[in-house]
Amino acid sequence: MTFTQILGHQRQKYILRRAVASGRLAHAYMFEGAEGIGKRLMALALVRAVFCLKGTGCGDCTACRKVDHHNHPDLHILEPDGAAIKIDQVRALQKELSFRPLEATKKTCLIDGAEKLNPAAGNALLKTLEEPPGDTLLILMTPQPEGVLSTIRSRCQRLPFSRLGREHLKEALAERLGVDETEAHVLAALSEGSFKKALGKHRDLFLERRKDLLKTLTGLSQGSILPLFDLAEALAKEKESLPDILEIFQAFFRDLLLFHHGRPEQELVNIDLLETIHRRAGRETYSSLLRKLGAINASRQQLDRNVNRQLALDVLLMQLAA
């Protein structure tokens, strides 16, 4: 992956390219921003630009190819082992960094999920940041900079990354990856600017499963309590996907609200479910929709606080079926 192939983040590319070209790279960077928006791709593009035998990040030389395959002897990648990055991992890295680079001009290390450095590991890493051994380049990445020790943060050059805009993401999904225009629209709208979400396991959730979920949801009525509880029970078991499922519900009711306001169809998320939206909108009022959106919001907050999931979902679905 070269800088040019990375979508968006023009300012960050400019800063990094200029630093490479002028030989003024910092010893340590911290790339900050949401999951899946391209921080790691940018880090690898930077390493490639630094290691490339032609000095361009060409993609063809052996150095570039080794970076792409993660088997360059001077590139180390540190990731959480389970829930945390542990001190043993940092010590092993420090040992590696104490040797001279084998093939490149410097040793580099990517630390992905820097907020997961446990306190001991963080303090150990601090020593490396204070006195970098020889010529090293450390790139820390995190969606939660406030979760990283402030002493680590202050020793890195911090580079914030923003989410990709909806239109930007849609265009890229359609043009570069050949995703169908309607699907690209829905994926971009639901992925909050995250390429990883749009293409990973969310792809099915946001496309096919979304239709099934909304079909079941719109089929519920307060009179038929059993199907309602069945759905709540099934959803309560999906702890990991639940925030995204609620996002799907929220997007649907937001669509109904926009439809009520006579907004153009292109502004809706579920442009492939226009018929359902027309039908359902006829049964809702402005205030019923606001109430339902409020209920979804409230249950999102409750679920963040680890309340009884099934109970929270029972109540939510009853409110949505009203």
Residues that bind Zn ion (CB under 5 A): 52, 58, 61, 64
Chain centre distance of CA 183: 19
CA distances from 318 to 205, 253, 292 (A): 23, 15, 10
**3 state SS of 159:** strand
**3 state SS of 281:** helix
The distance of closest approach from Cβ of residue 8 to Zn ion in the complex, given in angstroms and rounded to an integer, is 23
For Zn ion, the closer of residues 53 and 311 by Cβ is 53
Using alpha carbons, select from 240, 294, 283, 241 the residue that is nearest to residue 259. 283
The distance of closest approach from Cβ of residue 20 to Zn ion in the complex, given in angstroms and rounded to an integer, is 13
DSSP 6: S
The distance of closest approach from Cβ of residue 104 to Zn ion in the complex, given in angstroms and rounded to an integer, is 11
The distance of closest approach from Cβ of residue 48 to Zn ion in the complex, given in angstroms and rounded to an integer, is 7
Using alpha carbons, select from 191, 212, 209 the residue that is nearest to residue 200. 191
The residue behind tokens 């490149």 is 104
The set of residues, in sequence order, having a beta carbon less than 8 Å from that of 264 and lying 6+ positions away, is none
For Zn ion, the closer of residues 52 and 232 by Cβ is 52
Report phi then psi at 214, rounded to 5.
-70, -30
Distance CA 164, CA 191 (A): 10
**3 state SS of 307:** coil
For Zn ion, the closer of residues 65 and 203 by Cβ is 65
On the 0-12 / 13-18 / 19+ scale of CB atoms within 10 A, 291 is middle
The distance of closest approach from Cβ of residue 112 to Zn ion in the complex, given in angstroms and rounded to an integer, is 23
Distance CA 192, CA 162 (A): 11
Distance CA 91, CA 107 (A): 15
For Zn ion, the closer of residues 60 and 180 by Cβ is 60
For Zn ion, the closer of residues 21 and 234 by Cβ is 21
The distance of closest approach from Cβ of residue 109 to Zn ion in the complex, given in angstroms and rounded to an integer, is 20
Distance CA 301, CA 184 (A): 29
For Zn ion, the closer of residues 52 and 217 by Cβ is 52
For Zn ion, the closer of residues 2 and 276 by Cβ is 2
The distance of closest approach from Cβ of residue 59 to Zn ion in the complex, given in angstroms and rounded to an integer, is 6
Report phi then psi at 291, rounded to 5.
-60, -45
For Zn ion, the closer of residues 41 and 61 by Cβ is 61
For Zn ion, the closer of residues 28 and 52 by Cβ is 52
Residue 206 · residue 186 · CB < 8 Å: yes
The distance of closest approach from Cβ of residue 27 to Zn ion in the complex, given in angstroms and rounded to an integer, is 23
The distance of closest approach from Cβ of residue 56 to Zn ion in the complex, given in angstroms and rounded to an integer, is 6
* β-bridge pairing 75-78 and 157-160: unpaired
